[in-house]
Every structure is written in C-alpha cells, then in structure tokens.
C-alpha cells in the first residue's frame, strides 16, 4: 500500500472542479487535500477529510494544481543575449534569429542538450510547474531533430516534432525541398518520439500551404497538430489549426474577427504566451477578446532562448493579468486547467479525486497573489506525482 498524506488547514484550495467549490476554479476555503501514491484521493472540507498516514499543516495558505506549461522549446544550446540586447535598443524580432540557436544546437553533444533541458525543467519545477510540453526545432536536419526529440522524450511525455520551425540556411534556395524532408525522412525519424506535430506558420517561416502539408503528413503518422499561429502578422495559421482539429493554436498576437470566430466555433484551445511579447517588446494578445468570445484560453511560457527566455508560469500569470485583460482567476485557470486542455489531458491541471497528485503550496493566502505579487517566488512546496519535489 502506498503512503497517504493529508494537507490540512488549507486557507484556499483551487481544485478547478466546479462541482467541488465556487466558480470555474472550484474554490474551497478551510479545505483539506489527501494524496495517496501518485493520485489525489480527496479534495474537500477539512472536516470531511479521511485519515492519512502523514499530515502537512498548510498554515492557512493557498494550494493550487501544479502549473501545466503546454508550450516550450527546451532542447537547445547557447543563448541569444546579444540579440535580446539589440532588441532592447530598438531592433525588432524576426524568425531568422532561430538560425543562431540552430547553429549552436547542431554542434552540441546529446549530453549538453540533456543537461540544458534538465536545468530548465528544475527551474520550472521550483516555480510550481509539474507538466511540461517541449519541442524540437533547433536541429533542422534529420539526425539533429531526431536526437533533440530523443533527449526530450527521455524526460517528458509531451513531446512535439517541430522540424518546421524555420527553413535552415542550407535550404534557403529550396524551401520546397526542405518541406519534402520534413514530411518525409525527418518525419519517419522523429514520429516515434513525439505525440504532437507543430509548424511555425508565419512570414519568414512557413506559409499556409506548406503548413497544411506538414501538419497533414504528421496527422497521417498518428501525431496530433498544434500550431504557432499569428505571432508576427495576421495569417492563415489560426484558421488552419481549427480546420485540422489542432489541440492548440499558440501566440495569437494578431487576430482577425474570422480567426476569433473560428476558435470560438471549434475545439482548438488558444494558447497565449505573454513572455514572448514581453521579451520581444511586441503588443500583447487580447485575451479578453478571446475569453468573451467563449474561446478556451491557456497560458504558457514559450520558454526558448530567442523570443521568451522565462521558465516562470507565475510571471506569465502576472503579465496576463496586467497587460492582457485577464482576471487573476482566469489567468490561474488558464495556467493549470487551460494548459491541460491544450494538451488534451484529463489527469493534470485539477485537484479532485483521481487527478495526478501535482500540488503547489503557495506562500500566500490566495492564488490571487500570483498576480498581485509579481516576481516573488511563492511556491513554498511542490509535489509531483505525489512526491515532495520542492520544499
């Protein structure tokens, strides 16, 4: 029998199960949570909690589900400090910067890529993230994409094939040849490691027809699409994502009414990446417009060395509230349950019986403090799959 632990004296518990408490967050006060092995077995009133082997006193503080970071690019080498510096002196962001990281990644050993990935996963965990999706996309050869995904798959369940991140320099005169490789031998080598296929559908990367060919080839190999869409310009990415039944369309910085209508009428989650607009000095996406249209919104870091080098979901929550029209409740939901929806996961992003025991104890009386106290490290303790990982 695995050991059980009760968290008692929880001042405020975000369950994300509306049947358990108030509003979409299913908020409970004076609550308890019992975990056993890898699972939650009880979330409810302190009075009704079953006995457990061990007890942790939350001291009246808040407990939330571990963050679900549904969009990151953690398999890379090097950094882009100089590019960031230039941007903060007025230069604008362009997709071409990706090639700098591609050059560094191609020359890095698997051990270096693995160590970098683990360093960022540890950083995320310390801030309360317990589910992470990550992508390839800095290899852009058959071999470098496949080994990038092998490194990711050694640590993560949510792995995305992004051979279509940008056309690498050696194919500059033959983008069609590169798409053939991405949909042919590269897909063959990469599909066994991945659950998802992604494409950067953007000026300077892949157009709508190329994106359709790449996503369709991935679907035929059993991968489910997600799309980098409408980051730098309005374009066909969002509508293509919805048409192909993508789990998520990500960025959504420049949207037409037709894009919003498409998202509202489909099942594709809209994933917003505030760290990206912050670090590229771009306009922020209008989360309010999406939420008011009824779109399911996720928040994620997009952690990568070019456009968003933050691993912090609390930072993203704070920016989304301050700059994108989200309420603190909406932002916390989007960073937990929203991320789970973007990854089509039922077992994470909530704290109710049967969920994975991914739990964050905040050094704060309420989840609202994640937005109210920007930049403050509030994750006092983190349990991942029922194991105390931080604290």
Binding-site residues for N-formimidoyl-L-glutamate = 138, 304, 306
CA distance 145 to 147: 6
Among candidate residues 241, 348, 347, 349, the one with its CA nearest the CA of residue 295? 241
> Binding site: which residues?
71, 73, 80, 138, 165, 228, 231, 302, 304, 306-307
Residues 6+ apart with CB under 8 A from 238: 227, 229, 230, 249, 252, 255, 259, 262, 263
Where would I find the beta strands (DSSP E) of the chain?
Answer: 4-13, 28-36, 39-45, 54-57, 62-65, 67-69, 129-135, 158-164, 196-201, 224-229, 248-251, 269-272, 297-299, 359-362, 379-384, 387-390
Identified binder of ligand NIG from the candidate list 200, 206, 284, 315, rule CB under 6 A: 200
Number of residues in contact with ligand NIG, rule: CB under 6 A?
Answer: 14
Asked if residue 228 binds ligand NIG (CB under 6 A), the reply is yes
Which residues line the annotated binding site for Fe(3+)?
71, 73, 228, 302
Q: Site for ligand NIG (CB under 6 A): which residue of 101, 183, 248, 268? A: 101
* Residue 306 interacts with, from ligand NIG, Fe ion, none (CB under 5-8 Å by kind): ligand NIG
When computed from its CA atoms, the radius of gyration of the chain, rounded to whole angstroms, is 21
333 is an interface residue for ligand NIG by CB under 6 A: no
Minimum CB separation of residue 276 from ligand NIG in Å reads 5
Q: Which does 97 bind (CB under 5 to 8 A by kind): ligand NIG, Fe ion, none?
A: ligand NIG
Residue 302 binds Fe ion, judged by CB under 5 A = yes
Burial of 78 (0-12, 13-18, 19+ CB in 10 A): middle
Q: Does 133 bind ligand NIG (CB under 6 A)?
A: no
Q: Does 158 bind Fe ion (CB under 5 A)?
A: no
Backbone phi, psi, residue 65, to 5°: -65, 150
Helix axes 110-126, 142-153, angle to 10 degrees: 40
For residue 55, give both structure tokens: 């007890």
Please pick, from the candidates 235, 306, 339, 386, the single residue that binds ligand NIG as defined by CB under 6 A.
306
Does the protein bind ligand NIG through residue 231 (CB under 6 A)?
yes
Q: How many residues bind Fe ion (CB under 5 A)?
A: 1
Please list the residues that pair with 36 across neighbouring strands.
Answer: 4, 39
Q: How far apart are CB 96 and Fe ion at their closest, in Å?
A: 15
Report if residue 97 touches ligand NIG, rule: CB under 6 A. yes
**What residue ranges bind ligand NIG (CB under 6 A)?**
73, 97-98, 101, 200, 228, 231, 276, 302, 304-308
């Amino acid at each position: 029998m695995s050991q059980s632990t009760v968290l008692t004296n929880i001042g405020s518990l975000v369950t994300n199960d509306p049947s358990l408490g108030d509003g979409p967050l299913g908020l409970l006060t004076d609550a308890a949570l019992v975990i056993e092995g890898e699972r939650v077995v009880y979330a409810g009133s302190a009075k009704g909690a079953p006995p457990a082997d061990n007890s942790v006193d939350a001291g009246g503080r808040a407990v939330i589900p571990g963050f679900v970071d549904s969009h990151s690019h953690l398999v890379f080498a090097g950094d882009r400090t100089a590019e960031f510096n230039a941007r903060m002196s007025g230069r604008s962001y362009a997709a071409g910067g990706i090639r700098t990281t591609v050059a560094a990644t191609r020359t890095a050993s698997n051990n270096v890529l693995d160590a970098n990935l683990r360093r960022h996963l540890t950083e995320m965990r310390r801030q309360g993230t317990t589910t992470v999706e990550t992508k390839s996309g800095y290899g852009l050869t058959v071999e470098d994409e496949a080994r990038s995904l092998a490194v990711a798959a050694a640590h993560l369940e949510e792995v995305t094939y992004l051979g279509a991140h940008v056309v690498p320099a050696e194919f500059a005169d033959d983008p069609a040849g590169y798409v053939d490789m991405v949909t042919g031998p590269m897909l063959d080598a990469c599909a066994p490691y991945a659950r998802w296929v992604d494409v950067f559908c953007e000026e300077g990367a892949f157009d709508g027809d190329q994106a359709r060919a790449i996503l369709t080839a991935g679907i035929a190999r059993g991968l489910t699409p997600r799309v980098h869409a409408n980051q730098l310009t309005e374009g066909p990415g969002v509508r293509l994502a919805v048409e192909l039944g993508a789990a998520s369309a990500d960025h959504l910085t420049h949207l037409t009414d037709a894009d919003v209508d498409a998202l509202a009428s489909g099942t594709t989650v809209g994933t917003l990446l505030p760290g990206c607009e912050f670090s590229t000095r771009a306009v922020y996406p209008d989360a309010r417009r999406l939420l008011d249209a009824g779109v399911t919104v996720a928040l994620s870091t997009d952690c990568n060395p070019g456009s968003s080098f933050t691993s912090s979901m609390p930072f993203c929550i704070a920016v989304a509230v301050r700059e994108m029209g989200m309420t603190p409740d909406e932002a916390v939901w989007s960073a937990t349950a929203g991320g789970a929806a973007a990854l089509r996961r039922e077992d994470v992003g909530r704290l109710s019986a049967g969920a994975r025991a991914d739990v964050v104890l905040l050094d704060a009386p309420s989840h609202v403090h994640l937005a109210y106290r920007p930049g403050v490290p509030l994750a006092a303790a983190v349990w991942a799959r029922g194991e105390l990982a931080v604290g």
